[in-house]
Structure formats: structure tokens, C-alpha cells
Amino acid sequence: MVTTVSLYVPEDGAEYTMELPLQEKPHRFAHCDGLVLMPTDTVAHVVNPATRRVLTLPWSPNGVAPKFRFHAFHTHQVFGIGHDPRSDTYTVARFFFSSLDLLPTDAYRYNYGMEVFTIGVDRCWHETEVKPPYPAHIGRTATFFKGSLFWTIDEQKLTQEIPNSVGESAPGFLRFRLEDESFSVTPPPPCCRGLRYTTSHMAELRGELSVAHAGPKYESIEIWMCNDVDANPPRWNRRYTFNTVCLLKDPLVESQYVLSMPVFASPTSSQGHCWHR
């Protein structure tokens, strides 16, 4: 089966159409410095729209969905792509679930890991020496920012791993540094106490890490931005607020829509009856 993929390049107004052998349902795309990561359930492609070159990454056993005894995921993996400034290389990372255990307490224990492939260097994927400390939400592609990939932590699986727990909150965003393959947790904006992955969305905007999150009573969407994630704690600033009456009714769709709006290319364009700074 061949799937036709169209990529629009706004700089020159051109649309590039490529045919890729996508045998499975594609995942959400990711991008970094013009490179586009196009993963599926079984294979991942890295596309350079400017040259129309396509790199198909090698097969990995971690790309094969495990057959769990007590549970089945819609998919078991999520990807990200980023640039390592130390080595001046591009790396693709895959977070994956490997197995699921049912504990005597009737709680679940999810086993997961991370593997990476550095373009132009590696011939095969390799797993990181240290395991991720938290499970990533498999519905969210990683966001690249200043040498690190950021994933949303899956709160639902945190709850399932703890018996009789209700509303277990994620401590922040899972951060993966490409230069040394280390993990840490980046605290969320102060608006996100009890961060809910279903009502937030992350992106890099104008050189800052940005989080769109539903405001009080879901009546607004707040945009919080940070340019120094290494500060302790990170310096988050609420930059914009949208009135959701002008948008949609689904907070997740709203937050994704807001972070994709071209109006954010100019911070001086923040005038209007629907939103304000």
C-alpha cells in the first residue's frame, strides 16, 4: 500500500507531494530544523522536503507491539526528533512499552524504555542505559527544545500503577537530553498544578517552550512560555489568554489550535476581542 503525503512549505508557497510505503496507520509527525519525522506502527521515515530525500530507519524489535496478557494498547510507542548541538547530529527517539504486569494488589506495573537512532552515525537503534522515570503519553509526539525532547507524562497509567489512587498528578514534563541520554522532569507552569494531559498542549514558539492549558472552568486557554528550562524552577510566564467562546468546545482541540495559529509569529499582534496578553 502506498500513501501520498503532502507537505506545504510556507516560505516559498510550494507544496511537495511524496509517496511513501506506509503499511500501517501513521503516527503524529514531528519536525526539527526542516526535517520531518513520519513514523508508523512498524517503520519510521525521516523526510527532507527541501531535497525530497527520504530516510527509512532500520527495524527494531521494540517497534513490534507486545502481546500483553491483561491489557492491549492502541499503540505502544511514541517518537520525537531533535538536534544535538554538541555533536551537530539529528537523533530520533522512541519511547516504548515492553510489557505489563498484574501485581498481587490488582494494580498494574508498566515496563517501558527509550531507544535512540542518530542519523549518519548509528546503523541500528540502541536503548538508553537509564530507563525513563515516568511513562510518556503515547498520544503525544515529543516537543524538541534546546537540545532536549519533552514528553507529556501519562497520568492515567500513573493512577493504574497505584492501587486505590484517584487523580494521581504528573510531576511535570518528561525531559530527555540528547547530548548525554539522561532523563529529568521539568516542572509545569504554575497554572498546571495537577497537570492534565488531556487539556494541555506543548510546542516551541519563537525560541521559547510554550504550553497551552485550559484556564479556570475551561472558559479560556492560557499560553505559558519559558526560555530557560534549566532554571530552578523554570521561569514560566503567562503570555496570552484566549476566550474559548470564540474557539471550540473541546479543550484539547482548542489548545492545539491556539499553538498552531500564525498570529503568534508576531507578539505585537495580540489585539482583539477574543484574546489578550
What number is the average pLDDT over the span 93-113? 84
pLDDT at 14: 60
pTM score = 0.81
Among 215, 213, 216, 164, CA closest to 188: 213
Query: What is the pLDDT, as a whole number, of residue 250?
Result: 52
Say which range, 41-45, 127-131, 196-200, has the weakest mean pLDDT. Answer: 196-200
10 against 81, higher pLDDT: 81
Amino acid 102: pLDDT: 76
Neighbours of 55 (CB within 10 A): 15
Query: What pLDDT is attached to residue 10?
Result: 58
CA proximity to 79, closest of 90, 66, 88? 90
The three grid cell numbers given for residue 94, joined into one nine-digit string: 522512541
Other beta carbons within 10 Å of 256: 15
Taking residues 180-195, what's their average pLDDT? 82
pLDDT at 266: 36
| Average of per-residue pLDDT across 56-82 | 81
Residue 165 is predicted with a pLDDT of: 43
Q: How many Cβ atoms are within 10 Å of 88's Cβ, its own excluded?
A: 8
Residue type, 105: T
What DSSP state is assigned to residue 190? G
Measured CA distances, 215 to 68, 76, 200, 222, 243 (Å): 38, 31, 10, 6, 9
Beta strands in 146-249 (DSSP E): 148-152, 173-177, 182-186, 200-205, 208-214, 220-226, 237-243
User: pLDDT digit string (tens) for 236-255?
Assistant: 999 988 876 554 455 444 45
Residue 193 pLDDT:
57
Least confident of 42-46, 139-143, 163-167, 172-176: 163-167
Q: What percent of the chain has pLDDT over 70?
A: 67
pLDDT of residue 261: 44
pLDDT digits (tens, 9 = 90+) for 14-63: 666 666 555 556 678 899 999 999 888 788 999 988 888 889 999 999 98
> How far is the C-alpha of 41 from the C-alpha of 210, rounded, in Å?
28
Query: Which of the residue ranges 61-75, 170-184, 213-227, 257-271 has the most confident prediction, judged by mean pLDDT?
Result: 170-184
Report the chain's mean pLDDT, rounded to a whole number. Answer: 78
Cα distances (angstroms) measured from residue 271 to each of 14, 211, 240, 277: 30, 20, 10, 8
pLDDT band for 144, please (50, 70, 90 cuts).
very high
User: Which residue did the predictor score with more confidence, 105 or 256?
Assistant: 105
